[in-house]
Structure 1
Amino acid sequence: GNPEIGLRAGEESRDELREMLTGADMVFVTAGMGGGTGSGASGVVANVAREAGALTIGVVTRPFTFEGTQRRRNAEEAIEALQSSVDTLITIPNDRLLQIAGKTASIKDAFRMADDVLRQGIQGISELITVPGLINLDFADVKTIMQDGGAALMAIGRGSGENRAREAAERAIHSALLDVSIEGARSIIFNIKGGEDMSLYEVNEAAEVIRGNAHPECNIIFGAVIDADMKDDIQLTVIATGFDRAKPKDQYDFVNGAFKGQGQAQTEQRNGREPQREPADYQVRTFQRDDLDIPAFLRRQRTTNGR
């Protein structure tokens, strides 16, 4: 796709967008960056939303390496431009999803996972306000964290069993989606979601894990939502902002099954061993299909609506 065409389409629809977004308190701008529509039109949507006075949150993905150099270049330029048009921008690097999915994941599964992470990020924030729960937040609480938050990171953790709350929190803060430690964040908002048997003790346990790994002066707010579909599991979504002095995240030692500090990693570099930071670049042909510009969940919705 051509971002310039997407930009022109967005500009031509500016009046319709203004009419649609007038009166909105919060607007999510979500896109798979790199193609024409997302890279070109997302900035226009964000500009209109902020002009309307809405808290504007961008949730976007960087393309997989196998999608090609041009698509990655388009994405980086679009992300840089979008940063100045939103209050908070959450950027999810698709390549890091490969660390979660594993080598056996198909290309279809990889794109589905990227779409699902976008959905969970938006749902995790919106549920804090819209879904009644054990601990509710109002819009002012969310706005405190997200307004003028700048670049942000998002991670999701899920736990089950006796220590499910702690497990979900630990998995979130050590998620492969995070390339820096949450210790560098100045503001954190998180949403813990569980079944009807989720207790306040478990909510507090998860909160203590997050607080124990955050900066002492970090502003932390959270909510807890009951979802019967969660059954025996607990899921925690973390949004961290304010990374002016971000600390690199400890790297995971897959041999010993533990996290190792930066000092140990640097020693390995000096000894000639380079710790793996990014998934390997797979030699897969570049996709040129136009519909890759549109997230799968939007394509499914379009098909359902007969368009």
Structure 2
Amino acid sequence: MAAPQNYLAVIKVVGIGGGGVNAVNRMIEVGLKGVEFIAINTDAQALLMSDADVKLDVGRELTRGLGAGADPEVGRQAAEDHREEIEEVLKGADMVFVTAGEGGGTGTGGAPVVANVARSLGALTIGVVTRPFTFEGRRRATQAEAGIDALRNEVDTLIVIPNDRLLAMTDRDISVLDAFRSADQVLLSGVQGITDLITTPGLINLDFADVKTVMSHAGSALMGIGRARGDDRAIVAAEQAIASPLLEASMDGAQGVLLNISGGSDLGLFEINAAAELVADAAHPEANIIFGAVIDDALGDEVRVTVIAAGFDTIPQRPKAFLPGTRRGPASPPASTGNSTAAQGGTASGTSGSTSTVTPAATTPPAASATTAPASPFAAAAAQSRSVPATAAAPHSAVSAARSSPQPAAQPRAAAAGQTAGGGDNRDYNHDGPAPSRREGTDAGADQGHPPYKEPREAPRPSYAAPRRPVRPVADDDDELDVPDFLK
């Protein structure tokens, strides 16, 4: 008779970067059972302090064990250089959790690489990451968004925990150290809420296949946690989980829901039923709800409810950043008679019924090409944070609006002057320079066959003779009157 084999699901938790390794240490500290812990970091000193079963120092040649310097591109390259070692430690896993703190270097850049390796090995891959606090700065927030977008494409399910929402769950007197510990605790709850359903036998038991049904190819997921004691504790905990500050959006429309209710040995069946009905009412009517109840005497009289909602119909995505050098409008302006400016910067001249001649413009440098993609999403995020958003162009002036051909986007003044064919005035006045003079409008009308605009001349002012001062007639007896000579 063959010896019995172990058919338990192999679950591995990978913490990458400083935040991920700290979360793994927290999970080991509280005694999370049934999983294997792996710590990956470019900081050799921080890695030595980890209690994980497997420690992997990546980027030894690139960073010399000194860290990624908050550069996600360095973290990504370090993970790529040790891809084979990562694959070796992940072999045989049925489920892989990738946990990291987004916004830094190693976790932000290396987490997508680890997730890609895990998924290529056939493991159910779940990402559990945190979004940085606001006080950590805008640069880390921008890098975190790029890292989350990159990780979402490499995992089956991604759970994003906003650290700022933790402030709504804590006291105002909380220290920075305790705030980061709270973030580690939430990462622990996200992982533990799923693994307990598989590894811990309960009143209502679940297996790995049940969890895989909900989490496989589910996309983004939301997680809520609730705890309560006393009367109606299960219902109160379920209400807290549904309205948890950790939920960035409502769980309405979720096609898949994982519900884990944990409590002491006095946890009643009717309590479980009431909490489950409350969660079911908040989800989609046709949602697949995977439900489990776990008995944990360490909780005492407390009931803990963990809700993970996934499988939304539509996941809102942010518009891609508009990179400098790309065109938002059509590739080329419509054809028209008369003189027109080519879209690529060349000139074209011709009349109705004749063949147009196109003069090619100078070759556009590769750096300004719209098809040139950045090396990685992290480079794009860095370029976006350094660039200044372009303001909307001012409307065309009356002179440029009268042109027979549409004008391209604003061009350098020197280039615009050299793009006129046949003496036509096709310059674009849509810039910050002075407005066109009336003389320029006169020339443009004459070149296009319109009657030239004649500027009205000012009429001469009428001249009037100055009034003469009346002269008193000279009396006969006024001999001594002094009369000027010119009046005599």
- Shorter-chain TM-score range: 0.7 to 0.9
> 2:182 pairs with 113, 134, 148, which one?
113
Distance in 2 between residues matched to 1:58 and 1:105, nearest whole Å: 27
The aligned runs of 1:19-34 (5 Å cut-off) are: 19-34=88-103
Pair 1:38-2:107 in alignment: yes
Q: Which residue of 2 aligns with 1:219?
A: 288
Pair 1:126-2:184 in alignment: no
Residue by residue, what CA displacement relative to the aligned partner does 1:58-97 show, whole Å, maximum 9, x if unpaired? 0000000000011111100000000010000000111111
Offset of 1:246 from its aligned partner? 7.5
Higher relative contact order, chain-length normalized (CA < 8 Å, sep 6+): 1
User: Over alpha carbons, which structure has the higher Rg?
Assistant: 2
> 2:245 pairs with 155, 173, 176, which one?
176
Which amino acid in the other structure matches residue 94 of structure 2? D
* Corresponding residue SS for 1:229: helix
Distance in 2 between residues matched to 1:183 and 1:193, nearest whole Å: 24
> 2:84 pairs with 15, 24, 27, which one?
15
Offset of 1:54 from its aligned partner? 0.1
TM-score normalized by the length of structure 1: 0.78
Across the two proteins, how many residue pairs are aligned to each other? 247
> Any gaps of 5 or more consecutive residues in structure 2?
1-69, 317-488
Distance in 2 between residues matched to 1:226 and 1:194, nearest whole Å: 5
Are the equivalent residues in 1 in contact too, given 2:220–2:315 (CA < 8 A)?
Answer: no
* Corresponding residue SS for 1:102: coil
Which amino acid in the other structure matches residue 211 of structure 1? A
Residue by residue, what CA displacement relative to the aligned partner does 1:133-175 show, whole Å, maximum 9, x if unpaired? 1111111100000000000010100111121100110000011
> Any gaps of 5 or more consecutive residues in structure 1?
248-307
Pair 1:100-2:169 in alignment: yes
* Corresponding residue SS for 2:244: coil
Which amino acid in the other structure matches residue 154 of structure 2? S
* Corresponding residue SS for 1:184: coil
> 2:157 pairs with 75, 88, 91, which one?
88
Residue by residue, what CA displacement relative to the aligned partner does 1:242-264 show, whole Å, maximum 9, x if unpaired? 223589xxxxxxxxxxxxxxxxx
Are the equivalent residues in 2 in contact too, given 1:185–1:246 (CA < 8 A)?
Answer: no
Q: Which residue of 1 aligns with 2:141?
A: 72
Pair 1:194-2:263 in alignment: yes
What is the identity percentage for the equivalent residue pairs of Structure 1 and Structure 2?
A: 60
Which amino acid in the other structure matches residue 89 of structure 1? L
Structure-2 change in CA distance of 1:159 and 1:246 (3 Å): farther
Distance in 2 between residues matched to 1:25 and 1:199, nearest whole Å: 33
Residue by residue, what CA displacement relative to the aligned partner does 1:181-237 show, whole Å, maximum 9, x if unpaired? 212211111111001111221111110110122221111111111111100000011
> 2:132 pairs with 63, 70, 91, which one?
63
Distance in 2 between residues matched to 1:201 and 1:246, nearest whole Å: 35
Distance in 2 between residues matched to 1:218 and 1:246, nearest whole Å: 16
Which amino acid in the other structure matches residue 79 of structure 1? I
Pair 1:148-2:217 in alignment: yes
* Corresponding residue SS for 2:203: strand
* Corresponding residue SS for 1:169: helix
* Corresponding residue SS for 1:134: coil
* Corresponding residue SS for 2:267: coil
* Structure 1 consecutive aligned stretches of length 4 or more whose deviation exceeds 4 Å: none
Bigger drift between 55-64 and 13-22 goes to 13-22
Distance in 2 between residues matched to 1:127 and 1:135, nearest whole Å: 12
TM-score normalized by the length of structure 2: 0.50
Which amino acid in the other structure matches residue 301 of structure 2? D
Q: Which residue of 2 aligns with 1:277?
A: none
Q: Which residue of 1 aligns with 2:236?
A: 167
